[in-house]
Structure 1
């Protein structure tokens, strides 16, 4: 187990850059699912590996061994290595759990504060206007979902561009994009290397909403103008006071790159094909799949090995 259990902890070194490279060549929706699924799988394997290291060391403690009727000499492994590693793994696992808990609680608190601010003002359908002079607009999930816009942003855009902006924010809400971001944020708390997936995911989600808005209003140039004008009007240091930290907004991310993508020729109707025509991209896709598969297989193998060691220590192998 001591060898296989380290693979999930090291695999993000290869998986993260490979996933980022592959996401650049996928349609926005596919890229968002790829990045989120990869982060969730690697984080789960990381937590499992730390838990197995902790369990292997804990079983060597005499009170735990006595409770499980284990013979310490039959457990295998070197106590001088296993126990200190288990202590480090336990500390890391506790730190991960605390970071995940803090991030989840902060996200919940931010949403509640934003909901209270939005509920204090009259809403027209799903649209809530805040009397704030700083131009801003964002998607606020909840029951019901809200598109929050400030008076400053309404003044900055003509009516047609406002509709394109609202369509963008509604696409975030319809796709539950905040859950993608939250998943990767929590996964990043389990393994610091997974933070490298957050920026490409945010870009993929914004591009997903851009394409949905363009399809909704039927004009890609209008959507591009709305996003560009909103980004120019927005002043990051003067955004709405109650805006959640993870709120999705049309003015976020590399706006020039997004505008250029909208001004490019539209894809054929239906689902865009996944462009994996080059040999290099196929190799990158294979690398991402292999990383996730190896990480999962290594965690399962380590768990099976630990279980076999426990059975041996209990004297059950001959039964």
Structure 2
């Protein structure tokens, strides 16, 4: 196998370097799409690369090579990849598949629980008020989804800030933000090097909802104050159920990247002028993804040529 099969794995090492620039310089909607696309494409490309390398090791085993009418002896001479590399790739592939399958199963169960929970909640206009002194607010994806707010949170905020909170949570539902988080985490489950990108998605969806609320109210400073007050009030709130992961305060205790936490960064972004679409970063990300995709296609072609060459 030539260098093309290793390129997606190499790109995965450098991809996390783009998480902070994309999340801080691009409009959050664009940043969310780009970060999710990188997670999905690189997660799939690196998994395919591991599979291709593992196959080169399998065809060197005479019993397995015979099943495909290949020559194990010829494979040992025509494939430049070391057998040890193929064995390591096979182990990593197995770990990636198992981890991704477990993550997908947990996500599917959480989503099913959320849909059932939302369907059982009595609501008016999609809003559920829970009699709880603990300040909290979050969105539950469903058909349709629900916005859940505690009485403690409602008492913490004034009337205008309550409207901001509801606009933020409804933006999560209308934007299907849970799907972006799930896809990014699926890519990171297949490739652990992508975890900083998946964590950045949990931040950019909050920024996306913040900007949607700011656009609706026309007052960025008031939205920043509402975000800060809600986060401060909910700081000691207990952990939420697995399906209740989208809230105005973000993921408590999970800073996307090193440096400032997610809430101070969101407040600072709201106090600054709105971000615009960054064509340079978007173009660079598109080129990055194109290189990963083309190298994967090229590597598949290399394997096809190898299998033809070792055919008996």
TM bucket (normalised to shorter chain) is 0.7 to 0.9
Q: Does 1:248 align with 2:256?
A: no
Instruction: Give the drift of 1:78.
Output: 7.3
Deviation, structure 1 residue 179: 0.9
Kept in 2: contact 1:188–1:195 (CA 8 A):
yes
Which residues of 2 match residues 165-244 of structure 1 at below 5 A?
A: 165-240=165-240, 242=241, 244=243
Contact 1:177–1:205 at 8 Å: present in 2 too?
yes
Report which stretch shifted further, 157-166 or 109-118.
Answer: 109-118
Partner of 2:55: 55
| CA displacement at 1:291 relative to structure 2 | 3.4
CA-CA distance at 1:307 after TM superposition:
0.6
Q: How much has 1:118 moved relative to structure 2?
A: 4.9
Aligned length: 302
Please report how far the alpha carbon of residue 34 of structure 1 lies from its aligned counterpart in structure 2 after TM superposition.
0.9
Q: Distance in 1 between matches of 2:117 and 2:239?
A: 14
Q: Deviations over 1:21-53 (max 9, x none)?
A: 244221111111111111111111101101101
After TM superposition, the structure 1 = structure 2 runs for residues 121-132 of structure 1, keeping only pairs within 5 Å, are 121-132=121-132
Alignment partner, residue 45 of structure 2: 45
Distance 1:19 1:161, change over 3 A: closer
Q: Return the TM-score normalized by structure 1.
A: 0.85
Q: Identify if the C-alpha distance between structure 1 residues 175 and 121 changes in structure 2 by more than 3 Å, giving closer, same or farther.
A: closer
2:129–2:149 CA contact under 8 A, matched in 1: yes
CA separation in 1, counterparts of 2:288 and 2:142? Answer: 35
Aligned residue number for residue 263 of structure 1: 271
Report if aligned partners of 1:161, 1:223 keep a CA contact under 8 Å in 2. yes
Q: Distance in 2 between matches of 1:75 and 1:28?
A: 49
Aligned counterpart in structure 2 of residue 312 of structure 1, from 295, 309, 312: 309
Cα pair 1:136 1:239 within 8 Å, conserved: no
User: What is residue 292 of structure 1 aligned with on the other side?
Assistant: 289
Give the secondary structure class of the aligned counterpart of 1:16: helix
Considering only CA atoms, is the larger Rg found in Structure 1 or Structure 2?
1
Q: Secondary structure at 1:69's aligned position in 2?
A: coil
The within-5 A match list for 1:56-205 is 56-77=56-77, 82-205=82-205
Q: Which runs of 5+ in 2 are unaligned?
A: 251-260
Shift of the alpha carbon at 1:273? 4.0
Residues 287, 76 of structure 1: CA spacing in aligned structure 2 closer, same or farther, 3 A cutoff?
A: farther
Report the CA distance shift for 1:47/1:243 in structure 2 as closer, same or farther (over 3 A): closer
- Gap change, CA 1:6 and 1:258, over 3 Å in 2: same
What SS is found at the alignment partner of 1:139? strand
SS at match of 2:149: strand
Asked if 2 retains the 8 angstrom alpha-carbon contact of 1:6 and 1:49, the reply is yes
On the 8 A contact 1:134/1:235 being kept in 2, the answer is: no
Considering only aligned residues, what root-mean-square deviation do their CA atoms show, in Å? 2.6
> Which segment drifts farther, 213-222 or 143-152?
213-222
Gaps in structure 1 of 5+ consecutive residues: 277-281
TM-score (norm 2): 0.86
- Partner deviation per Cα, 1:96-117 (whole Å, 9 max, x = no partner): 1111121122223334444555
Find the aligned partners of 2:19 and 2:272 in 1 and give their Cα distance. Answer: 24
CA change 1:134–1:77 in 2 (3 A) is farther
Change (3 A) 1:57 1:234: same
**What secondary structure is seen at the aligned counterpart in 2 of 1:238?**
coil
Are 2:118 and 2:144, in contact at CA under 8 Å, matched by a contact in 1? no
Q: Is the 8 A contact 1:135 1:239 kept in 2?
A: no
Partner of 1:279: none
